[in-house]
Amino acid sequence: MIIATIAITANLSYGQTDWQSYQSQTPLPKKAKLKTIKFKSYGYAAEGYVFEKQFVEGQEITFYNTKTQTDVIPVYVIPVPVSKTTLTNPIISGKYFVREENAYLESSIKQEDDDWRGRYKYSLQGIFKVSNTYNGKGLTAKTDEAKSLNVETADILQYSGFYEDGKFPITLQKNANDYALKIEFEDRTLQTIVPFDHLKEHFFSSITNIFKNTESTYARYYISLNLDDYLKNANDIILTYKNGNNFLGKVEKDNSYSNTTFVAKEGKYTFANGEVFTGELDRYSKIWTNGKWKFTDGSIENGNWLEKYDVRENELSNVETMTDKHNLAIQLYEEKKRKIEEERIAKQQAEEKKRIAEQQRKNTLINKYGDYWGELIYNKEFTPGMTKEMVLEFTSDKCYKISRSIRSGMTIETWIFDKDKMQLELLKEVADMDEDQKQAAGAAFLLMELAEGFGYNIRDQFPTLVFTNGKLTDVYQY
């Protein structure tokens, strides 16, 4: 809410302003006289030029509150009541004119508000409809035809005060059919056009009320100019920033800081360096993504270009302008793409190298043992008839506990998987490794433990084997 305080006291000062419907000043008739007419029954008086019992158009009229006191004066020992009416506080003063049988005053009210916040100046210039007749039209200088004084706000020509209880200067200036509004915040200026009908509905009555409460010299009255709802719904708000940026569009009120202000919400935001954003502005982010960017190098982005280039806002904090941030985002994106491509090629090459090595191994096994046994050995299939040499091509006797016996003249060897032996042998091998190999071995140990924790049985890779006279005769899978 925009609050402007006008203290109505006996020290009000008035002046004339122009109104587009007001005709040229009427010459003062030679026989016109400056009179003070007291309307005692209604508690007010009018001071102005009168000719033929009518107030003279184009001349100043000042209305005052009055106070009537009755004293008793002894006349020949007989008490006689005598009434005395005096002028007290001014109500309104201004240049008087008539239009379509209605009477108006062009008035200017200027006042200083002296309180604990300091001295703040407020001023208001306007057109006010005044009447004291029974039909509510025009002014009469005849006391027997008059009734109570009525003052209504017809138009405001200019207003200056403060927004947010004295913090920020605000002005309203009348145009032909509307008003130019301006609020000066600490780091930005808000400007827009306010329709006549809106001010008439939300502001005129507040001004009218000050003329109904002028009896007390020390009373303070408040003019409440409520424009917040209008500003939040308008589409043509202009914000001009001290850093050279500017905005046109919809705004919203920001109460998150010590000084309330209006911030850009949706529209066209132009930076001092020529960058332009059109769309929805997120006040909690420095890079807006719901709209269109035009950068100083001529490039354009529509939508969320942070997502497009797979980059986070904090990755761009080392550069200032949006153009630089945009270029850095593209650079980081290209570097990521290049790295991904390099990793893809390296993986492809490693896979190809592995494939060639596997094929070479297969060829070696086939050349050494023939097609049948070479294929089985390559596929690591324990098959009766294999020699120990064949089996040791794809497993290790260091993982087995081996027992030997002779039955009916045949040598029997039984290989049973021994996890403890396998781990001990691995530890011996690790002792001779370099640091990188040790880390890899440690990872292998951990992987093996995790696999068993998830139900994987390592014994499946090491079935019990029985060799008779050096050839595999039995395979037991547990």
DSSP letters spanning 83-117? EEEEEEEEEEEEEEEEETTEEEEEEEEEEEEEETT
Q: And the tokens for 51?
A: 């000719």
291 within a domain of the structure (yes/no) = no
Domain of 449, in residue numbers: 382-476
217 within a domain of the structure (yes/no) = yes
Q: Do 401 and 264 fall into the same domain? A: no
Distance CA 251, CA 233 (A): 8
Sequence length of the chain is: 478
SS3 163: strand
Distance CA 208, CA 190 (A): 27
104 within a domain of the structure (yes/no) = yes
20 within a domain of the structure (yes/no) = yes
336 within a domain of the structure (yes/no) = no
Q: Which of 270, 287, 308 is the last residue of a domain?
A: 270
Chain centroid, CA 339 distance in Å: 37
195-205 residues labelled b (16+ CB within 10 A) or e (exposed): ebebbeebbbe
Q: Which of 255, 270, 285 is the last residue of a domain?
A: 270
What's the pLDDT score for residue 19? 53
Q: Among candidates 358, 350, 309, which has minimal Cα distance to 333?
A: 309
Contact criterion met (CB below 8 Å) for 188 and 240? yes
Spatial CB neighbours of 454, under 8 Å, sequence gap ≥ 6: none
Give the number of domains in the chain: 2
200 within a domain of the structure (yes/no) = yes
Angle between helices 435-453 and 419-431 (to 10 degrees): 160
Q: Which of 220, 250, 270 is the last residue of a domain?
A: 270
Distance CA 404, CA 466 (A): 10
Residuewise pLDDT in 10s, the chain (478 residues): 333 333 333 333 333 344 554 545 668 898 999 999 999 989 999 999 999 999 999 999 999 999 988 765 665 656 666 678 899 889 999 999 999 899 999 998 876 655 544 445 678 899 999 999 999 999 999 999 999 999 999 999 999 888 866 678 899 999 988 999 999 998 999 999 999 999 998 888 888 888 887 776 554 555 667 788 899 899 999 999 999 999 999 999 887 766 678 999 999 999 999 999 999 999 888 899 999 999 999 999 999 999 999 999 999 999 999 999 999 999 999 999 999 999 999 999 999 999 999 999 999 999 999 999 999 999 999 999 999 999 999 999 988 999 999 998 899 999 999 988 888 888 877 676 667 665 665 555 554 554 455 455 677 789 999 999 999 999 998 7
243 within a domain of the structure (yes/no) = yes
Q: Do 110 and 235 fall into the same domain? A: yes
Spatial CB neighbours of 285, under 8 Å, sequence gap ≥ 6: 313
361 within a domain of the structure (yes/no) = no
Q: Do 72 and 216 fall into the same domain? A: yes
3-state secondary structure 26-72: CCCCCCCEEEEEEEHHHCEEEEEEEECCEECCCCEEEEEEEEEEEEE
CB atoms within 10 A of CB 184: 15
